[in-house]
Structure 1
């Protein structure tokens, strides 16, 4: 798998504790003034604010008691200096402020910010703030809060979310766990989150993917201070431009035997479409050959839809070994069911020892068997399947998706791809990969079948790198869905739309200028 060490620090995702230690290192070891850092954060957030909402006043700035609140007071000061109308509310009493946060409040007051204590605001005035506000700045709870927000914060968060007013979150939305992306209680739903010093893992997966809105990163410091702090990232954020160079190069004289043979074992009675989606996705993702092993009654439909496939009807597990012998990689699980047919198929796939991608019902069947750990397999569970594989409940998976993916990988080996917004790929390394972005249009049946086919084809082309194949697959799948959504929207998106968009995505990784030249 490609190494991340040479990547940009902006792609590194840290835990909340690591970012606090980086902040401490900058102040204690590098001599960076803490209040100057807070001022830089406020200026950066305010710049983003006026670009995104040039007519967003009056601003309603909600401040807590920690440094996050200090950022908020200084944002309010920046706004007042620029002539904007500002209502600044101390959700936590200002008497609780200390250190740089207290200094920020004092500076804001000196700059003309009228700070009102929440406890002293009457209900009619509080109502009017929300009725008239053009933008809310959430600077209430920072990275030091990991539990459910308590009053008065929980009530203010609910009010923000019900108001329909756009929200800029300072560093992270209040109520979100910056490390896990979970929210144990009420959490602000932001339209834009401006985060500082280091990107936090929780902003990009789980609830974070749903409540952060657009996330922009402001490092605030120049030079190598962050890398010199010695803090290692917990994850690496991956987008299509960052992974497309991982694909093996293709020579002008390439032939199909160089790009692997994918065998898709899928589609019990009533689920023939699952196998076809996976097989066609594999064919669209660069596999040299694709064979579909499915129930005999599905073969005609498969060939009518995608004649480049080699489709075989199989009724019993004893018919599978001959097909397995010819395969480079096997994709098993979409629509195989949990009956005797599916059990026979999975048994033969596992017995073959071939590199494999296990999805859907293969994972459900795996739960009822002794753990089958292998270094040459990729598991692609959604949270429900992950919970069954770990004999726990879904909320335990979602409470810390990174930890869950790493635990699954330690149990089953190979690479584990935990689906969901902010898909996670764990491979046994300290850092996991997170596919940046989300797409609500993908919340429909069959999308996972497409993903398993894409990953199978990539794995066949880079058989020594299961984790890289899984990461590229997750990113390509999301990128293709994004392209398809531009035309189809979210509600009408179906899996075949994503398959149709795959060539447009892969095209970005191809050196067109060097191939297919005619005579001058």
Structure 2
């Protein structure tokens, strides 16, 4: 584990083009010299580096041709001034450098940094550099590079990833698309990424969420210029810790009718577990009433597992009609299957007009053009289901641009879309959200069923589908992170997330109660002072 660094990240997420435009605006219109911004960036990288690795050992700094390379040269200069052992390698020959990057190279050499040219090193010398490194600083490729890295960068990226030394990435890991989070080829796997000016969308979704490590944001004192630069964010970043205070506060006079009646339609033969996971997650997330409509053979296990849920066996779609009339919200899809049973159930749900969460096989049937007549639904595809909804070849096509894929699904199917996977994307056509959190332990069957139940439960308690999806997804990820602290990743299962739900909700409730008490105390103090 690395020592903790600041987890304070801004909400606004920008494309690579937007960040470059902001950078140009700050330099051209606000008269901040580009080299000064580069010096600020390098200082922030060095400061965060020492915070995480106070004794980094021998530093290997890899410098490319652009501003990232310039940042790298200045980081190497700071390290030399602080008495660290530094190997600084020019991946791009210095004679090709221009502008501020050239100025940074010259400043570094003037400060005593010995720069070695990668092309002049034999294989033995190259191997020694990586074998003796205690920490690698990646200053090779920046936001202006797209597509798969070419030689020699691809070889250097592979060497970074094969090294035992941790990697600190400047602005973004080399090889990553800063806008989409896609990596067309090799990409550096960083332990820490220090990024500047605008938080890049790609760092938090797709492969970016796995290769960026701990993301640290440094504004470089450009915040005053963001409002006037004219560049708009592509998405908004949220996490549970920032949203938990938005959970509805329950009145002392509340009763179950205030928190919705959720109907879960789930569990064809062989898929009863999905139904039970969704139902238990729903009741643990605060729904007033939860009814499970499932295959008759799943009723007894459901009651044994979770007697708080009203379980009813259904054989034909017509049996759902009276259940739908009593429900305020419907979840359909976990373990639904694609047989005639599942098709009947989905048909009744989508024609009911009730607010609904459609997941799993409901989405696979939807991709076969089952019509959705209302616009009050939440779709929760994983990348494979998203590909089917969009008529794409595979999940890999979706992962090339997760934000664009979610927006396309919303445009074609309406409602609110939650695209699962690393760096969850949520959009309702007006706003796009990316969620921080989660861990590799969530890569197991049943996690999505838990999420569906949670979304349905919260949809019965909050104002909008976007709010319900966002609260549920952030809570889901936070519970998985909390559970992994004791369970680890390999042993994490969906019921661990459900078991953690009451603990996380209780913390949020105590926070709300404390803020309420402090507010009332403030009113009392004001009255007493009159």
TM range (shorter): over 0.9
In the alignment, which residue of structure 2 is the partner of 1:316?
A: 316
Mapped contact 1:329–1:356 kept (Cα < 8 A): yes
Instruction: State whether residues 373 and 413 of structure 1, in contact with CA within 8 Å, keep that contact through their aligned partners in structure 2.
Output: no
C-alpha distance in 2, partners of 1:371/1:352? 12
Measure, in 2, the Cα distance between the counterparts of 1:460 and 1:273.
23
CA change 1:62–1:408 in 2 (3 A) is same
The Cα shift of 1:245 comes to 3.1
1:80-95, aligned counterparts within 5 Å? 80-95=80-95
Deviation at 1:223, TM superposition (A): 4.7
1:478-517 superposed matches below 5 A = 478-510=477-509, 511-512=512-513
Aligned to 2:404: 403
Q: Which residue pairs with 2:238 in the alignment?
A: 238
The superposition leaves residues 318-377 of structure 1 with CA deviations (integer Å, 9 ceiling, x where unpaired) of: 100000001111000000100011001001101111110000010111111255363200
Map 1:242-391 onto structure 2 (within 5 A).
242-372=242-372, 374-391=374-391
User: SS at the partner of 1:352?
Assistant: coil
Confirm whether residue 414 of structure 1 aligns to residue 415 of structure 2. Answer: yes
Structure 1 range deviating more: 493-502 or 369-378: 369-378
Q: Secondary structure at the match of 1:10?
A: coil
Whether the 8 Å contact between 1:193 and 1:214 is mirrored in structure 2 is yes
* Per-residue CA distance 1:198-218 (angstroms, 9 max, x = gap): 100000000001101111001
CA distance in 2, matches of 1:485, 1:438: 10
> Which digits, 9 at most, give the CA deviation of each residue in 1:218-238, with x for residues without a partner?
111055212221211111111
1:202 is paired with a residue whose SS is helix
The DSSP-based 3-state class of the residue aligned with 1:357 is: strand
- Secondary structure at the counterpart of residue 229 of structure 1: coil
Cα–Cα, structure 1 residues 421 and 20, in superposed 2: closer, same or farther, change >3 Å? Answer: same
Measure how far apart 1:124 and its partner are: 1.4
Contact 1:373-1:411 within 8 A present in 2 as well: no
Query: Cα–Cα, structure 1 residues 499 and 52, in superposed 2: closer, same or farther, change >3 Å?
Result: same
Distance 2:224 2:291 in 1: 50
Q: What runs of 5+ residues in structure 2 fail to find an aligned partner? A: 1-7, 518-530
- Residue deviations 1:450-481 (CA, integer Å, cap 9, x gap): 0000000011112x411111111110000011
Kept in 1: contact 2:338–2:361 (CA 8 A): yes
Is 2:110 aligned against 1:110?
yes
Please name the residue that 1:67 is paired with.
67
Q: Taking structure 1 as reference, are residues 183 and 263 closer, same or farther at Cα in structure 2, changes over 3 Å only?
A: same
For the residues of structure 2 that align with 1:147 and 1:437, how far apart are their CA atoms? 27
- TM-score, normalising length: structure 1: 0.95
* Cross-structure match for 1:202: 202
8 Å CA contact retained: 1:356, 1:376: yes
Q: 2 CA distance for matches of 1:129 and 1:148?
A: 24
CA distance in structure 1 between the partners assigned to 2:279 and 2:52 by the alignment: 43
Work out whether residues 355 and 376 of structure 1, in 8 Å CA contact, stay in contact via their aligned partners in 2: yes
Deviation at 1:9, TM superposition (A): 8.2
How far did 1:54 drift? Answer: 1.6
Q: Is contact 2:455-2:469 (8 Å) kept?
A: yes
Q: Matched residues in 1 for 2:271 and 2:30: separation?
A: 61
Aligned residue number for residue 467 of structure 2: 468
How many residue pairs get aligned? The number is 506
TM-score (norm 2): 0.94
Contact kept in structure 1, 2:9 and 2:216, CA below 8 Å: no
Q: Which moved more, 1:340-349 or 1:433-442?
A: 433-442
Q: CA deviation at 1:423?
A: 0.4
Cα distance between partner residues in 1 of 2:451 and 2:201: 23
